[in-house]
Amino acid sequence: MNGIASIGWRLIGAVPVRWFALLCLCAAYLQGGLVKAFDFRGALAEMTHFGLQPAAPFAVIVIVLELGASAMILTGIGRWFGALSLGGFTLMATFMANRFWEMAPPERFGAANSFFEHIGLCGGFLLVAWYDLNMRAEGQGHE
């Protein structure tokens, strides 16, 4: 590694920076899980809006998934599994909530942006899982 790349790696590769990046990746899921947990009526309304019935079990599953998988990612315990879980959840939710191809302008524009932003999140979670599994395969564990 040349000098600049080495300095960059020392800064970006630092454990607190990586943890902060993981926190940023999980932020929407932590916020969403907490909001649903503290406003369970709102969570039920959201599940009903998307046709998920019975709403209560789906709401509980989503809350546990959003908070539990985020905790796995942030603690490093089963990080790869938490990342794949949130990535899969995000992919399913994106196809359910952002069906931009069925919308007319101007709603289509916002939904398309949201769709592709969420696809980007899926890619981020896939990278986290890939990296974690590679570190485990090399015997480096998690941080």
**For residue range 85-114, what is the model confidence (pLDDT) as tens digits?**
999 999 999 999 999 999 999 999 999 999
Using the structure block, give the residue that is written with the tokens 């896939």. 126
pLDDT tens column, 13-31: 678 889 999 999 999 999 9
Distance in angstroms (rounded) separating the CA atoms of residues 101 and 125: 25
Residue 43 lies in a domain: yes
Tell me what pLDDT residue 16 has. 86
Residue 104 lies in a domain: yes
Average pLDDT of every residue of the chain: 93
Q: Which domain holds residue 125?
A: 26-137
Instruction: Please give the residue that has the higher pLDDT: either 64 or 12.
Output: 64
Residue 98 lies in a domain: yes
Residue 6 lies in a domain: no
Residue 8 lies in a domain: no
Distance in angstroms (rounded) separating the CA atoms of residues 127 and 131: 6
Q: Could you tell me the pLDDT band of residue 140, with boundaries at 50, 70 and 90?
A: confident
The CA-based dihedral angle spanning residues 73, 83, 21, 97, taken in that order and rounded to the nearest 10 degrees = -120
Residue 54 lies in a domain: yes
Q: Could you tell me the pLDDT band of residue 142, with boundaries at 50, 70 and 90?
A: low
The residue among 67, 60, 58, 57 whose CA lies nearest residue 27 is 67
Residue 94 lies in a domain: yes
- Cβ atoms of 56 and 101 closer than 8 Å: no
CA distances to 11, 59, 138 from 117, rounded to whole Å, are 27, 23, 32
- Tell me the residue length of the chain: 143
Classify residue 73 by burial, with Cβ atoms within 10 Å: 0-12, 13-18, 19+.
buried
Own/partner long-range contacts of 138-143 (Cβ < 8 Å, ≥24 apart): 141/76, 142/76, 142/77, 142/79, 143/15, 143/18, 143/19, 143/76
Question: Is the overall model pTM greater than 0.85, yes or no?
Answer: yes
| Domain count across the chain | 1
